[in-house]
Structure formats: structure tokens, C-alpha cells
Amino acid sequence: MLEISNIHTFYGGAHILHGVSLRVEAGEVVSLLGRNGAGKTTTIKSAIGLVRPRDGRITFDGTETTSWASHRICHLGLGYVPEERRIFSDLTVMENLEVGRRPARDDIPAWTTDTLFELFPNLAERRYNLGGHLSGGEQQMLTIARTLMGNPKLILLDEPSEGIAPVIIEKMAEVIAEFKAAGLTVLLSEQNLHFAKLVSDKAYIIESGEMRYEGTIAELEANSEVREKYLAV
């Protein structure tokens, strides 16, 4: 469904991604693992068009999107949940959701504020609060809910477990399992192997802007050498 082939991405003069490739099939949950600064976020930002690869090709759902503006990629059905959450702090929870709202798609069930409040009951209680007044965990829920309002086919989750309490991490794992059950495709970047194991089918490992490993989660679990080399802190 999402295919990144051999992309090279730069920030100014700095060469960040050196020919990164990955594939996500429909219905899969794929983890992109790697340490801080390995290039996970840049890969995800390249996919949603927030940075433009200088070389290489990105296709989503059979359409090449390499040089597209973010909003067009979003319209195709790619949803982006940023690492820093990027809640609109001056807008209420309801208004935050409104910004993400897009028309329903024929092939997947549409999300509404009601269904999202069922999934994230905490948000329902705080619907008229300003985004800036929510706790870190609530903001994490809100940023995901906001992206779901766009009825994406594939969600890019950038480090969803970063900086939130263990209880919420468990909740995130449940939410991702629900997505999978609902037929959503997910690409998540993670440093936390434990969390990735809970939710994903497949894993990639990136280091210094290059892909170093590709396999199923079960294979990765069996391969302690790779884990030591690329993931141990």
C-alpha cells in the first residue's frame, strides 16, 4: 500500500536518508525501529510530504506521491500523527478534531466525533477544553483522534509511546490493535522494542539513514545479535 524506494532526503546541506526503502502492505502494522537520530522521523515526514526527498520514489495506493504537497497526500488517505503531537493549543478539543475532518471514504467506515469519543473516553469529558490544557497522554489521544477524523487508510504514527505514562502506552497498544481489527494499515516508528512487539507484524531497523534489517517481529525476537547491534542503548 505504501512503498518507499531508495529515497535520499536532506535538511539543508545535511544528507539524512541514504537510499531508504520500505513496504507496508494493506492491513499490516509495520514498525520502523531505530535509535534517536537514525532517520525514523525523516522517513515518515518524507512519506507525508513535509520534507521532499531529493531522489527516490514514494508511491501510496498505486499513485506516485514523491513530490506532492502534504495536503494532497492526505487526501489520498495517508494520515500523519507527529512525534511532538502538535496539538493546536489555542483550539478546543472539538475544534482540533474539526481541523482534521475530511469526507468519508467509500471503502472504510467513517470516523465521527462520537465514535472517537467511544475510543478515547477521556477526550469526551474534555471536549470544550483547550488543547493546551490537556495532559500529555490526553494530547497523544487527541493527536491520533484528530488524524482519524480525516478517515485515513494508512496511519503514520511517529513514536507514539514517547514521553507518556506506561498506563497510556498500554492503551495505545490496544488502540493500534483495534485499528488493525478495523482493517487500517499502520506504520509506526519506535525506539521501544517492547511496545513494537505488542502491536506489529513486521519490523524494519534504520540506522544512520540506512535500512539495516527487515523481517517479521518473530524473526527479530529470535535474532539477539541484530537487537544488540542496532537497538540496545
One symbol per residue from 134 to 153: x for binding another protein (CB under 8 A), - otherwise; what is it? ------------xx--x---
Instruction: Answer yes or no whether residue 10 interacts with another protein by CB under 8 A.
Output: no
Instruction: Answer yes or no whether residue 75 interacts with another protein by CB under 8 A.
Output: yes
Using only C-alpha atoms, the chain has a radius of gyration, in whole angstroms, of: 17
Between 95 and 162, whose beta carbon lies closer to another protein?
Answer: 95
Count of residues that interact with another protein, criterion CB under 8 A = 27
Select the residue interacting with another protein from 34, 39, 53, 100 (CB under 8 A). Answer: 100
Between 16 and 169, whose beta carbon lies closer to another protein?
Answer: 16
Minimal CA–CA distance to 183: which of 82, 124, 105, 120?
A: 105
Minimal CA–CA distance to 160: which of 132, 124, 187?
A: 187
39: left (phi over 0), alpha (psi -120 to 50) or beta: left
Min dist CB 12 to another protein, Å, is 6
DSSP 168-195: HHHHHHHHHHHHHHTT-EEEEEES-HHH
Instruction: Answer yes or no whether residue 160 interacts with another protein by CB under 8 A.
Output: no
The one segment of 23-31, 46-54, 159-167, 183-191 that binds another protein by CB under 8 A = 46-54
Task: Give the ranges where 14-104 is alpha helix by DSSP (H).
Answer: 40-48, 70-76, 93-100
Binding site for another protein (CB under 8 A): 12-13, 48-50, 69-71, 74-75, 80, 82, 86, 88-91, 95-96, 98-102, 146-147, 150
